[in-house]
Structure 1
Amino acid sequence: MRVHHLNCGCMCPVGGRLMDGVSRGLAGQLVCHCLLVETDGGLVLVDTGFGTRDVERPYERLSPFFIHFNRIQFEHRYTALEQVRSRGFSPRDVRHIVLTHLDFDHAGGLEDFPEARVHVLQAEMEAAEMRRGFINRRRYRPEQWDEVRNWRFYERGGERWFGFEAVRDLDGLPPEILMIPLPGHTTGHAGVAIRTPEGWLLNAGDAYFYRYEMDPEPRCTPGLAAYQRMMEVDRPSRLRNQERLRALANDRRSGVRTFCSHDAVELEALSRLSTGWRPI
């Protein structure tokens, strides 16, 4: 399998270095790190970032609160649809989409791939349908996925994968692609693990936001630490899963490369290592 690392969204919240750790100006930069996986059975997307309709009609699809809070940059070049096309593929080649969760910045491109089968944890869909509370009413946007008809839902549990639960045998997908339940950021949040010839990749989604959170002595920028607290639904679970991910990331014997969804430095490094493509 070949894995492409895509940037399917750009957000520039106020805070600069206090947000992303590197920016020198007033604004920080957060990406939407998605994956495009070439398999014998067609293409698989892991998350979709923002979609074409989000770009064209943002206020019909997204919460004004998050549009302005995150200062989302609505450009077609950041959509998964354009990223797939730029690599010489057709949208119809995307047969499956595996979601870490249903937040607005992860599920916006679902309707750009109407023929794809969409995989998500059952607990996440239940939370998205209830939308209880100020944040949940704004993070989950049914407008982004109300036309999806080909869903596959999964319960937590299953065989162990490096000490984590693993949901295996995803319908129609090769056994090298697993869902790893990592609740805390949302109720049904999951990582997605992919076995490649070079070892395992673990897309940890929003289980953490900043690369140095995986260091033996973790640290996070003030802006991202506050954002994670604002978005969490279960702090003990989120912190416990971060601790477990940290142990895995620092176990060199595992051969697992862990990354999150919004760190631009991680995206750049993995893009260079894996495919030679630079993120747009």
Structure 2
Amino acid sequence: MRIHHLNCGSLRKIPPLGEELAEGVVHRELAAVCHCLLIETDADGLVLVDSGLGTADLQHPDRSLGADWVAYARPALDPEETALRQVVRLGYAPQDVRHIVLTHLHRDHTGGLPDFPHATVHLHPDEYRAVTDSAAAHHQTSLDRFMPAHRAHAPLLTPASADQPAEWFGFPGAARPQGLSCELLVVPLPGHSAGHAGVAVRADDGRWLLHAGDAYMHHGEIERTPPLAHPVLDPIQQGAQTEASARIATLDRLRALHRDHADEVTAFSAHDPWEFARLTASETGATDPTPG
């Protein structure tokens, strides 16, 4: 099994924090990313974790993504960053992406779905219920945030199996996507959306990667004591959250995970460009952790 870190959509540039500059961790502002994973498996084909921005988003961004969001997020709209193009550059066909596992259904995570219309799309059961069950408490809000352009092709939404929920490093209720044989779990990380979850995948070396979605947006929130939020990103978190107390509790759990299990689990968020630079430098063996 091979795991690739992909940026499937550069967004507005954000400056490093003063503390980071003083420590030499980063050297310049970087564009926020849409951090996705592409997993090559022997039995399940390609598995995409989140899908970033898609090709149709680039053709009609205001209509597909929303004019207000485009004006604020300032996406680069680079076709070479789409998951579709990156899959093809790796030598695969779009049809080889058989499964897409989503952290949640917000526009910067679902734009690539129409590029892989045949793929099974796995969600945490709460997120699935929020957009399919009209009686669910968050149904209308969740459906509004799942952009019509990203669901017009009727994606094959499938709730992960929670019949025998597992506990994963103290996180209760982890569910298994149906039809996947690789060691991958959908781990509840509530607060940002109705059924927001992380996606945990175990690499061949035994370590876990946790794609934490939008549970946090800057590494200082889980790596530092006291926590260090980014002033550009923090208002986005607070504006999008569905339940503040749940989001704060999730952050507490993620801090404990980093503190107690950093040798077993590497967690990263969807938009932190410094985490992305760190992980891609490690993946390629590069020595400069802050490219471009």
Length-normalised TM-score, structure 2: 0.85
Matched, 1:201 2:209: yes
- Which piece of structure 1 moves more, 219-228 or 43-52? 219-228
Query: Where do 1:65-144 residues align within 5 Å?
Result: 65-128=68-131, 130-132=139-141, 139-144=145-150
Partner of 1:60: 63
SS of match in other structure, 1:74: coil
Shift of 1:254: 5.6
Q: Which runs of 5+ in 1 are unaligned?
A: none
Partner of 1:220: 229
Give me the identity figure in percent.
42
SS of match in other structure, 2:34: strand
Note closer, same or farther for the CA distance 1:67–1:138 as it changes in structure 2 (3 Å cut): farther
* Aligned amino acid, residue 249 of structure 2: R
Shift of 1:149: 3.9
Deviations 1:202-243, CA, capped at 9 Å, x for gaps: 010100000111124110111111111111111100010011
* Aligned amino acid, residue 32 of structure 1: C
Matched, 1:255 2:264: yes
Match for residue 242 of structure 1 among 226, 251, 260: 251
Note closer, same or farther for the CA distance 1:79–1:276 as it changes in structure 2 (3 Å cut): farther
Q: Which runs of 5+ in 2 are unaligned?
A: 21-25, 133-138
* Aligned partners of 1:167 and 1:179 also within 8 Å: yes
How many angstroms apart in 1 are the aligned matches of 2:7 and 2:103? Answer: 15
Match for residue 219 of structure 2 among 211, 217, 227: 211
RMSD: 2.5
Partner of 1:172: 179
Query: Where do 1:15-26 residues align within 5 Å?
Result: 16-17=15-16
Matched, 1:3 2:3: yes
Deviations 1:2-53, CA, capped at 9 Å, x for gaps: 100000001116x6447xx76857xx62100000001112100000000010
- Which piece of structure 1 moves more, 150-159 or 93-102? 150-159
How many angstroms apart in 2 are the aligned matches of 1:153 and 1:177? Answer: 14
Length-normalised TM-score, structure 1: 0.89
SS of match in other structure, 1:214: helix
Partner of 1:190: 197
Aligned length: 273
